[in-house]
Chain A
Amino acid sequence: MAFELSKMAKKIRDERLAGANEKLAALLGAGAEELNPPHPPLTEREEENPAVEKFVVPEKFEGPEYDAVKKAYDGINKFLASKGIDPARYTLHYRAVFKTKPHPNKPDHLSGELEEFENYHDYLKRLQSLTIEEKNQIGRSWASQLWGDWTSPGVFSNISKDLNNPDSELYQYREEIYNIIEAQRDGAAEDLYAEAVKMGEVKEIGKEINGTKEELPTETDELEEETEEAGKEKLKEKTSEVVAAEAALDKAREDYVAAIFVKEKADKGVEKLNSLWGKFKDWAKHHPLGETVEEKALRKDETKGGVMAEQAEAQEKLSAAQDALRLALKDYRDRQVADKEAELGAAGKSADQIKEEMEKYAKEIFLATTLAEAGRIDMLKSDRQIEQMGSARRFINESVEGFANWYRALPVKYKIAVSAGLMVGGGAFGLVGSQAIIAAAFAGQGALRVLGGSMMAAGAEGRIKISQEKQAEKKLSKEFAGKFLETLKNQNYETDEKLFALLRAKQSEKTRRFIIAGAAGALVGTGALAQAARNVIDWFRAPLPEGVKEMPAAPDRTSAGGVKSDIPATPEVRTGAGITSPESSLQLKGGGIKGGGAETLPADTGAETTIPPTAQEAPAPSVATTAETTIPSTAETTVVPPAAETTAPPVEAPAIGREFAESLPIGRRGPEGAIIDYFKANADAAKHFGWDGKNDITEWAGPKAHRMWLEWLKGELANSRLAEELSKHGYSVDADGYDKAMRHIGKGFVDLDSEGRLSISDKTSFLKAPVEQYGVSVAPEAVKTGAAYSGDILGSEALPAEQASELAPVAGRTPAVPAPEMPVQGASVAKTLSGEEALTSGEKITEMTPEQYLESLPPGEKTVDALAAAEVNLADQKIKHAVSLLVSPDFLKDATFKAAAKVPLGKIMDEIPPDVYDNKYSLNRYWQNISAGKAKFIDLPGTGFFGQWGKDLNYDDFRKYAEMAKFLREGVGEKAMKVLRDMSVEDFFKKYGGGLKKK
């Protein structure tokens, strides 16, 4: 935990001096003030103490290769080392602001440029180079997003937790250390590194080895002796390099975590603007003041611009920090590997032996460093949160430190037991459970010792030796023989689930203990399989501890297109103008569920042959929209879909027991009212959720919706920020208060799936064919569009000219494309026509193959190069057309998706697998599986806030990325995407769609 130590140092020093002065004053009759004059300003003391400038370290000792040495000679680290304490246990930063400028948004505030130093020598050097203007900044107070208020310059370290802990070995040196810190902060301490250089203690890195090589003697014995010496020197140098790499990794990790927090703060700002709550707060604040629509728009634009800019900047810094961390980790690994190689070489091992051992070592170092680094990052994040815990900090730190010291001293087998007990819920398995461990951690050393004793008595190891358990072991070992490795390598969820299903199924105690022992083994042996790092974590996440609600199992991995056969169809919703609405999955009425069940598209014919009923063909809506079910202004839907009984294709199976997902608009009766209306209008769905089909559905729907809503609210109300907002606006922090607030907001959708899972969403969507619809109503359009573009806009055009000439399209195989000289009509078409109608118009666009284009060129320009260029040109035109045809112009105005601006297209495709949008259920299901830890995290920037699954990414962001991935794969095409992988979203739309925020 970093802490500004200077304040504490000053307090101690002042207390100590005050006490001493009182005694002296009494003896001498002098006033305390005279004996303890005010502390001179740092700059004055520097001038008073020119000794620190006497020796100037030669430039050759100032390179980055000396960072680790400088750190070792830092006064604080030297002191710790002199007491036998490893300085590496503690972080140390000198932070200062010497340069300021007016704050861009707050004229009466200053913005400072933070300078950070990792050792006293570098910090002192900077102090000594300050200009007068820079010196004037000393002593200024600052507010940091990361560590709160502080005074520049300051010394930051996580050492404070031990300095303030009476049980710590450091406590006895508390005053001495604080005095050193204070002196170094003020630049008044001796520069031990400079002194070491002056005394010749610091060797010139690199010169020693080179010098040895240059002076190699010719005599064999001497050669061997010198070579050995050189080897030792080399080994010594490598070791110092590892130390330096470790320090660099520490720094990179801190920068990365700091960037994460800045980004999260920026995200929160955006989230405030975009959230329903943000909108509500905004309304509550400005509506009573009579703000006009124009004023509101102007104000919101200004606010949004600033917040979005901050977020974009934070994202850039996070990306840079992430890259730096990866590099530092790689360098750290490389250094360790190099050191090991040198060590083996120095040990006289043969080349084959070295190769064999290095192969093993490399795997080990790769996996161990990755996992340990992930854990250290997590700890650092917690440290930063602990820093903000105010007076609770000390208590938390003491509890953690006490446990850590106890744990580190445990024999390995008990470490395994504790770790398994803590992380896998060992209580039910005969191990010490997490609650006992937590209680012991709070209770301190005495209780921890007792805990250690009970572990010896209750450890899994001894119990498993019982013969009955050996039988269980034998049985399970046989059942899973050969599958553990497979699980790790292939993410074999089936095996994984099967194993832990045994736990959940309340198997006998002995069986459980065997499994937990296996889990413990997995915990310890976190891997020699380099490529299985992610899978090791998958193993980690398999069993949730007791008390944690199990989420539904991960879906079967089905390839895209392979699941359409069992998708209940949803009639397409059309607006009066005929525009296909992004909210067309809205199912207030029967649709695919009411009237005998879902319609099912034949597996073999797929979407091409099934045309959903149109508004013209269908009968009038079977259930009128109630007055209270107000369609939000954001939704384009204006006509409620009719019941599909008379026009739907033959029904293959009833909806009951099948999978479905619906988006229900939230009206004045809130989300609960939306669910009630849905049940009342969809008898089969109601049956799916337990209605018996006999009693009055109205009487059943109310309580059922209420229970579902309460279940969901549990999680929501646990959010302290939400509770705060409710209170602030006069609502009670309970279901009733939340419900009332939601009714006032009256916007958004509640997504409900067949598992009863709820999500609240603003339902914004940029594709004219949202992913929820791909499996059904939009599929015909998508397929037809694919035919028009062959699902692959670029075709062979991306190939080099010589290959392009070989693969030049032939008649009948070449996709029809709009002629390049023709204006792209999609944009205007898309504004007035539905997707299908737009497609029809698109087909009418003058078509021209690359050959035809080539033919149209003057005779002298008909070359292979011209053909290749023409093909690329045509491909560009096709992409533009696809954008105009498929992407809603709203997306280009959608600032909420600005987070994606810098993301490379290839990254989106890598992160969003096709099964995310296999069908309309996949999206919500995949999202739920992420939160259940059963699907891979989507590592893409978003607009969420800490506390949501995926942190940055919220559900709406996820949907947009899914739509984007779908569009890129099927609208642009895989081959074209190979060329466009590195292009950012922003650049893509600048080139093909006119910019992200085009208005």
Chain B
Amino acid sequence: MPTQIEQSILKELGIDQLSPERQEEVLAVMTEAVLKRIILRLVGAMSEDQRKQFEQTAGGGDQDKISQFLADNISNYEEMIGEEVARFKQDMQKTVDTLLA
């Protein structure tokens, strides 16, 4: 069950009756899609050597070290994530327009 706030907003939007299955389906697709983009962008920004080092770091499973590696090796990586999300939203907009055309 959504929280009261979520529920009230969903109701305000007129979408509270959408089935949870559909909500989850759409949300999962969106989330996976955007995550895939971000990972692709970050790994794509690394050199071959950096990527190998990063794989080793990631293999250790230490989130802090991973974050530190990204911060040290990819300039403005936080912005990069933001940009990729923004691009995703824009591309989604365009694709939806295409599908509804």
Q: Give A residues with C-beta under 8 Å from B.
A: 322, 325-326, 329, 360, 364-365, 367-368, 370-379, 382-383, 385-386, 389, 391-392, 395-396, 399-400, 403-404, 407-408, 412-413, 415-416, 418-419, 422-423, 425, 434-444, 446-447, 450-451, 461, 464, 473, 477, 481-482, 484-485, 488, 514, 517-518, 520-529, 533-534, 537-538, 540-541, 544-549, 933, 936-937, 939, 949-951
Contact = CB atoms under 8 A, between A and B. Distances in A.
A510 to B, nearest CB: 12
A477 B25 CA distance: 28
A157 B58 CA distance: 27
Nearest to A523: B27
B12 interface: yes
Nearest to B32: A404
Contacts of B79: 547-549
23 contacts: A372-B29, A374-B92, A375-B33, A377-B95, A378-B33, A395-B51, A395-B58, A396-B43, A399-B39, A403-B35, A413-B2, A415-B28, A423-B88, A434-B38, A444-B58, A444-B61, A451-B63, A523-B27, A525-B9, A545-B85, A547-B82, A933-B86, A933-B89
A288 B63 CA distance: 54
Contacts of B95: 373-374, 377-378
List the 7 shortest-distance A-B pairs measured between CB atoms, nearest first. Answer: A375-B29, A525-B15, A548-B82, A545-B82, A521-B9, A374-B95, A368-B22
B18 A368 contact: yes
A541 B81 contact: no
A372 B62 CA distance: 33
Contacts of A527: 13, 15, 18
Contacts of B98: 322, 939
B82 A936 contact: no
A399 B86 CA distance: 21
Interface in B66-101: 66-67, 70, 76, 78-79, 81-83, 85-86, 88-101
B5 A325 contact: no
Given A364-B22, A407-B32, A425-B82, A524 B92 contact: no
Nearest to A440: B63
A755 to B, nearest CB: 18
Given A443-B61, A514-B5, A548-B79, A379 B26 contact: no
A533 B98 CA distance: 12
A419 B31 contact: yes
Interface string B4-28: 0110111011111111101111111
B63 A447 contact: yes
A581 to B, nearest CB: 35
Contacts of B27: 415-416, 419, 523-524, 526
| Contact-size category for B | 35 or more
A443 B59 CA distance: 6
Interface of B: 2-3, 5-6, 8-10, 12-20, 22-40, 42-44, 48, 51, 54-55, 58, 60-64, 66-67, 70, 76, 78-79, 81-83, 85-86, 88-101
B28 to A, nearest CB: 6
B101 A939 contact: yes
Contacts of B44: 385, 389, 392
Contacts of A473: 5
B31 A396 contact: no
B31 A415 contact: yes
Given A522-B9, A528-B17, A533 B23 contact: no
Nearest to A325: B99
A314 to B, nearest CB: 16
Contacts of B13: 484-485, 488, 521-522, 525, 527, 529
A376 to B, nearest CB: 6
B5 A517 contact: yes
A378 B90 contact: no
Contacts of B76: 547
- Give the interface centre of B43, B94, B96 by most chain A CB atoms within 10 Å: B96
B99 A372 contact: no
B93 A541 contact: yes
Given A395-B51, A435-B78, A521-B6, A370 B100 contact: yes
A540 B78 contact: no
Given A379-B36, A525-B18, 6 more contacts: A364-B17, A372-B26, A379-B29, A395-B43, A404-B32, A439-B70
B99 A544 contact: no
Contacts of B19: 364
Contact of A537 (B42, B58, B92): B92
Contact of A937 (B16, B34, B94): B94
Contacts of B26: 368, 371-372, 375, 526
B40 to A, nearest CB: 6
User: Chain A contact residues: over half helix, strand or loop, or mixed?
Assistant: helix
A700 B12 CA distance: 53
A407 B33 contact: no
Contact of B30 (A371, A391, A484): A371
Contact of B15 (A329, A374, A481, A529): A529
Contacts of B38: 422, 434, 438
Nearest to B31: A419
Contacts of A386: 36, 40
A365 B43 CA distance: 36
Contacts of B34: 422-423
A404 B94 CA distance: 25
A194 B8 CA distance: 55
Contacts of B9: 484, 517-518, 521-522, 525
Contact of A375 (B30, B55, B63): B30
A784 B37 CA distance: 52
B96 A392 contact: no
A418 B31 contact: yes
A253 B85 CA distance: 22
A867 B62 CA distance: 83
Contacts of B96: 370-371, 374, 533-534, 537
Contacts of B83: 548
Contacts of B81: 434-435, 438, 545, 547
A378 to B, nearest CB: 4
A954 to B, nearest CB: 15
B82 A544 contact: yes
A533 B99 CA distance: 10
A514 B36 CA distance: 28
Contacts of A526: 15, 18, 23, 26-27
Contacts of B54: 442
A440 B85 CA distance: 17
A370 B99 CA distance: 7
Contacts of A443: 58, 60-63, 66
Contact of B85 (A373, A423, A446, A451): A423
A377 B30 CA distance: 10
A538 B90 CA distance: 9
A365 B54 CA distance: 42
Contacts of A544: 82, 85-86
Nearest to A513: B5
Contacts of A377: 95
A700 B91 CA distance: 40
A663 B90 CA distance: 27
Contacts of A949: 90
B5 A464 contact: yes
A538 B31 CA distance: 17
Nearest to A530: B100
A540 B86 CA distance: 9
- Give the interface centre of B9, B27, B64, B86 by most chain A CB atoms within 10 Å: B27
B45 to A, nearest CB: 9
A322 B96 CA distance: 12
Contact of A525 (B23, B42, B89): B23
B52 to A, nearest CB: 9
A765 to B, nearest CB: 26
Contacts of A374: 92, 95-96, 99
A180 B17 CA distance: 45
A940 B94 CA distance: 11
